[in-house]
């Protein structure tokens, strides 16, 4: 999957000065590459050990939805505030460039005990840790994390007691 790098755009100083934003959306413009990526991501053992997948707003939805279809697993969404109806579990977290909040519908988690997390990118791990803390507070198990891109120098994976699988690293 080294060929993925050519489809990932880098934007200096976005969303703020000093950040290099890695954008995986170019992969979606290449259906064969996207298909190969989803096949690779879907092979992780920890996905099969999960009762359901949980994907993170917003780019995680793209990859999580495709993986969910490929392996026939239920899909749960972790969204930013104001995007989900019903009773929510909400938690704020720090990013390398600010603060944000994620919400999960409480009823969507009830039937499941274990989850694999899907996102597009792992940087410092704040977003994934937010989801992990929500699930942990409900005594739910995380079987692993699958991301397209990992920013290795930021060492986000060190925060987690579960495995992390990335398709490409910077």
Q: Please name each of the domains of the chain with its CATH number.
A: 2-169 (3.40.50.2020)
In three-state form (DSSP H/G/I as H, E/B as E, the rest C), the secondary structure along 99-114 is EEEEEEEHHHHCCCCE
Measured between its terminal Cα atoms, the distance across the chain in Å is 13
Task: Pull the structure tokens for residue 125.
Answer: 């791990």
Full-model pTM: 0.95
d(CA 89, CA 97) in angstroms, rounded, equals: 24
Beta-strand ranges (E) seen in the chain are: 9-12, 20-23, 52-56, 75-78, 88-95, 98-105, 114-122, 141-150, 164-169
What pLDDT shows up at residue 1?
Answer: 63
63-77 per-position pLDDT tens digit: 999 999 999 999 999
- For residue 74, CA distances in Å to 65, 78, 99 come to 9, 14, 29
Model confidence band, residue 159 (pLDDT cutoffs 50, 70, 90): very high
Mean pLDDT of the chain: 96
Instruction: Compute the residue count for the chain.
Output: 170
* Residue-by-residue DSSP string for 5-28: GGG-EEEET-SSTT-EEEEGGGGG
Tens digits of residue pLDDT in 84-98? 999 999 999 987 677
How much is the pLDDT for 2?
A: 66
């Amino acid at each position: 999957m080294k060929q993925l790098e050519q489809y990932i755009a880098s934007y200096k100083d976005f969303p703020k000065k000093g950040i290099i934003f890695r954008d995986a959306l170019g992969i979606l413009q290449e259906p064969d590459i996207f298909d190969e990526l989803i096949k690779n991501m879907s092979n992780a053992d920890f996905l099969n050990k999960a009762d359901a997948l949980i994907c993170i707003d917003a780019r995680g939805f793209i990859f999580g939805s495709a993986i969910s279809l490929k392996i026939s697993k239920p899909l749960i969404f972790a969204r930013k505030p104001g995007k989900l109806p019903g009773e929510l579990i909400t938690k704020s977290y720090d990013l390398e460039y600010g603060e944000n909040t994620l919400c999960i519908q409480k009823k969507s988690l009830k039937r499941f005990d274990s989850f694999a997390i899907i996102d597009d990118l792992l940087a410092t791990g704040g977003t994934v840790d937010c989801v992990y803390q929500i699930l942990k507070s409900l005594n739910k198990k995380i079987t692993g994390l699958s991301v397209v891109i990992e920013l290795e120098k930021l060492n986000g994976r060190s925060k987690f007691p579960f495995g992390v699988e990335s398709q490409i690293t910077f």
